[in-house]
Amino acid sequence: MNPRHLVYWAVAAALIGLPAVYSQPYHLHVLVLILIWSFAYTSWSVMGRFGLVSLGHGGFMGVGAYVTALLWNHLGLSPWIGIPIALVCAGALALVVAYPCFRFRITGHYFALVTLALSGIVLQIITATRDYTGGSLGYTPERTKGSVFTALQFVEKETWYLIALAVWAGGIAIWFWIDRSMIRYAMEAISEDEDAAAAAGINVTAEKLKITVLSAVMTALAGALYCQYQMFISPDTVSGIAVSLQMVFAAVVGGIYVALGPTVGAIITILLAEMLRIGFGTKAVGWDNLVYGVLLVVFIIFLPKGILGSLLERMKSSSKR
Amino acid sequence: MADIFDVYLAEAVISGILLGGVLALLALGLNLIFGVIEVTWICYAELIMLGMYALYYFYSVYGLPMWVAAPACILVVAVLGLLLHYIVIAPLLDAAPINQLLATGGVLFFLQSFATVAFGIDFRNLGIRLPVLALGEMHFSYARLLAFGAALAGMVVVYLFMTRTYIGTAIRAISQDRQIMALMGVDTKRLYLVTSAIGGALAGLAACLLVLQYAVHPFVGLSFGPITFLICVLGGLGNFIGGFVAAFLFAQIISLGGLYSDLEWGYVLAFAFFIVMMFIRPAGLLARRS
Per-residue pLDDT tens digits for B86-140 = 998 888 888 777 788 888 888 988 898 889 888 887 888 777 767 777 776 677 7
Q: For chains A and B, count residue pairs whose Cβ atoms are closer than 8 Å.
A: 154
Residue A13 is assigned to a structural domain of this protein = no
Query: Alpha-carbon Rg of chain B, whole angstroms?
Result: 19
Find out whether A288 and A273 touch, Cβ atoms under 8 Å.
Answer: yes
Per-residue pLDDT tens digits for A308-319 = 888 888 888 877
Q: Does A285 contact B at CB distance below 8 Å?
A: yes
Please tell me the distance from the alpha carbon of residue A206 to that of residue A124, in angstroms, as a whole number: 30
In the beta sheet, which residues pair with residue B135? B138
Top mean pLDDT of A230-239, A272-281, B199-208 is at B199-208
- Residue A100 with chain B: CB contacts under 8 Å: 275, 278-279, 282
Give Cα A70 to chain centroid, integer Å. Answer: 21
Q: Which of A104, A123, A128 sits opposite B282 (nearest CB)?
A: A104
- Residue A242 with chain B: CB contacts under 8 Å: 109, 112
Please tell me the distance from the alpha carbon of residue A65 to that of residue A63, in angstroms, as a whole number: 6
With bands split at pLDDT 50, 70 and 90, how would you rate the model's confidence at B1?
Answer: very low
Per-residue pLDDT, B289: 44
Residue A130 is assigned to a structural domain of this protein = yes
**Total number of domains in chain A:** 1
Give which of A185, A274, A225, A217 is closest to A85, Cα–Cα.
A217
Q: Which residues contact B252 (CB under 8 A, 6 or more apart)?
A: B13, B16, B17, B20
Does pLDDT of B290 surpass 60? Answer: no
Of the residues B49, B92, B98, the best mutation for testing chain A's interface (the one with the most A CB atoms within 10 Å of its CB) is: B98
Per-residue pLDDT, B226: 84
Q: Which residues contact A77 (CB under 8 A, 6 or more apart)?
A: A71, A85
Instruction: Provide the shortest C-alpha distance from residue B67 to chain A (in Å).
Output: 33
Position A318: which residue type?
Answer: S
Q: Do A241 and B222 touch (CB under 8 A)?
A: yes
- Measured from the Cβ of residue A304, the count of other Cβ atoms closer than 10 Å reads 19
Per-residue pLDDT, B22: 87
Q: Do B102 and A285 touch (CB under 8 A)?
A: no
Give Cα A193 to chain centroid, integer Å. Answer: 27
Sequential DSSP letters for B43-74? THHHHHHHHHHHHHIIIIIS---HHHHHHHHH
What does residue B138 show for φ and ψ, rounded to 5 degrees? -95, 150
Residue A197: domain span: 24-239
Instruction: Provide the shortest C-alpha distance from residue A318 to chain B (in Å).
Output: 25
pTM to 2 decimal places? 0.85
**Which whole number is the average pLDDT over B67-75?**
91
Residue A316 is assigned to a structural domain of this protein = no
Per-residue pLDDT tens digits for A200-250 = 888 889 999 999 999 999 999 999 999 999 888 988 888 888 888 888 888
Please tell me the distance from the alpha carbon of residue B165 to that of residue B158, in angstroms, as a whole number: 10
Per-residue pLDDT, A142: 84
Give which of A60, A64, A43, A61 is closest to A52, Cα–Cα.
A43
- Residue A128 with chain B: CB contacts under 8 Å: 262, 264-265, 268
Give which of A219, A212, A210, A225 is closest to A83, Cα–Cα.
A225
Per-residue pLDDT tens digits for A108-140 = 778 888 888 888 888 888 888 888 888 878 888
ipTM for this model: 0.78
Find out whether B284 and B271 touch, Cβ atoms under 8 Å.
Answer: no
**Which whole number is the average pLDDT over A48-60?**
89
Give which of A181, A163, A139, A136 is closest to A46, Cα–Cα.
A181
* CATH architecture for the domain at B2-280: Orthogonal Bundle (1.10)
Residue A294 is assigned to a structural domain of this protein = no
Q: Which residues contact B67 (CB under 8 A, 6 or more apart)?
A: none
Residue A230 is assigned to a structural domain of this protein = yes
What does pLDDT average to over chain B? 83
- Measured from the Cβ of residue A12, the count of other Cβ atoms closer than 10 Å reads 12
Sequential DSSP letters for A67-91? HHHHIIIII---HHHHHHHHHHHHH
Find out whether A296 and B102 touch, Cβ atoms under 8 Å.
Answer: yes
Q: Which helix (H) or strand (E) holds B134?
A: strand B132-135
In the beta sheet, which residues pair with residue B134? B139
A contact residues 154-193, partner B, Cβ 8 Å cutoff: none
Q: Do B271 and A118 touch (CB under 8 A)?
A: yes
Q: Do B98 and A108 touch (CB under 8 A)?
A: yes
Please tell me the distance from the alpha carbon of residue B254 to that of residue B270, in angstroms, as a whole number: 6
Q: Does A126 contact B at CB distance below 8 Å?
A: no
